[in-house]
Structure 1
């Protein structure tokens, strides 16, 4: 839940939940002062995430109605969903499949709450990996002449599968401004944290040539501004002169995979709030 900061928000919501016999198991809150808030009304922002234990036989429709009344009263954006919900997801990948493999493994082991509806790629490399798991695989090569057509297919697939999340798991194509804007908040990308210093091909090799001492990765929401969307998760690792370019690539792929998976878990569990160009993340 997020709303303009004002007295009585927590008290009102807690009282409503108590009236339905709900028990609060976890509560995270954050206040953003007006001076730092992205709100256009000049007020501060309040963010809150609550985990509930609900009594057996609870009338969820009535609870939702009360939550809707709360939202109207406090001008709040609020959602209510099962804590064990699996988020319907489409994965997009090109040739490098380390992030894809990591996601699929975690989903199989039950540590990443995603329901993979399909995998889309502009290369055939991952087809066997995906199809042996019974997941639909779509091979849609992209050129400057057919990009609009292929993105239309992607848009239709999102609608047809009711996908709530699209993951660019090292998908090496730039999405159009239209597609990025239409699905803002539900497309997550991973990239190495050398940007903008090492844009383009072979960033780890170029970083080695410059003698970098830290490598890392950033997971963020996709916007029309390339690789500048709200950041969800980041991590770094120290390296030194003894690492050759291939070792940097290998270390970098490990970081990319784990940062992306952490970001996906945070998003799927409803722990990420988009606040303008920034995010509020209630980590465990």
Structure 2
């Protein structure tokens, strides 16, 4: 915990004047010129800029800009008020966020520890700059590990009969902690439509398959029976459609006929934890824009 706090303080000091602007709107001439001129007029210096258009002729335009501006934390609301006129002119969906805003993260986990541990280690090392506010589990297995990092651990058992009651307890906790993002680190429960609707575009899952192949339970067994030559993992936002939400990140590893189910699981665990960390990191850094059932990821 001490080392993580050192990383946070160093980060806060270095980036106290930095902010991020994310935009999506109908593509048309003049968007970049208007936005950059506006930022210049606010005394801003652009340090990173990424853009993409689905089609310059009538498509959707996406823009992510990082910039430094003196005393941005005190001026944020005033800048937002001024920018609103431009946003209306170009029919923008947009958000301005402070680089130093530490998103509050809740981790859900069941019995498997590899994704949880990777998240905790990366967080402790300062690679995931966020407030890991709490861990919720339907088992007691991970309590000692989590509490050793100074993070509160909540055991909420889930059965078919108590699922609704358990989710209400979870939702109450998440609201009390004012959570920004929920990470399902191999949480082996299907969330209800009510739960998903309560936290739209805020739930990140890791699925132990290279989606859209092998949706649902026991994907490694499905992959073994199919005789695949590649296995992978997918991190995506959760929607009501099981394992079909917007994909943030994927990766694969080559396998062959010599690999049995347990081999696939062992290799898969390595892929799962790295894919989940990447997806969360990009989300924390405001590098992901959801468009329909896809994502634009400015790495």
Same fold, TM-score > 0.5, yes or no: yes
Tell me by how many angstroms 1:193 deviates: 1.8
More helix by share: 2
**Residue in structure 2 matched with residue 225 of structure 1 by the alignment:** 241
Judged with a 3 Å threshold, the aligned counterparts in structure 2 of structure 1 residues 178 and 34 are, in CA distance, closer, same or farther, namely farther
Moved over 6 A (4+): none
1:54 aligns with 2:76: no
2:43 corresponds to 1:21: yes
In the TM superposition, 1:163-202 aligns within 5 A as 163-193=179-209, 198=214, 202=218
Q: Which runs of 5+ in 1 are unaligned?
A: 36-42
For residues 193-236 of structure 1, what are the alpha-carbon distances to aligned partners after superposition, in whole Å with 9 as ceiling and x for unaligned? 25565456543244334332101000000000000001000000
Aligned mate of 1:44, from 59, 78, 84: 59
Distance 2:211 2:40 in 1: 48
Q: Deviations over 1:113-164 (max 9, x none)?
A: 2211110000111111111112111111111111111111111122111111
State the SS of the aligned residue for 2:251.
Answer: strand
> Normalization by structure 2: what TM-score?
0.87
| C-alpha contact 2:249 2:278 (8 A) present in aligned 1 | yes
Of stretches 265-274 and 82-91 in structure 1, the one that deviates more from structure 2 is 82-91
SS at match of 1:171: coil
TM-score, length-normalised on structure 1?
0.91
Structure 1 match to 2:28: 6
Q: Is 1:25–1:52's contact at 8 Å kept on the other side of the alignment?
A: yes
**How much does 1:178 deviate?**
1.4
> Residue 240 of structure 1: SS of its match in structure 2?
coil
Determine the structure 2 residue equivalent to 1:78. Answer: 94
Counterparts of 1:268 and 1:200, CA distance in 2:
27
1:30 and 2:30 are equivalent in the alignment? no
Please list every run of 5 or more consecutive structure 2 residues that lacks an aligned counterpart in the other structure.
Answer: 1-22
What is the CA-CA distance between 1:66 and the residue it aligns to? 1.6
Please name the residue that 1:40 is paired with: none
Q: Say yes or no: does 1:94 pair with 2:127.
A: no
CA contact (8 A) 2:211 2:234 kept: no
**Map 1:231-250 → 2, pairs under 5 A:** 231-250=247-266
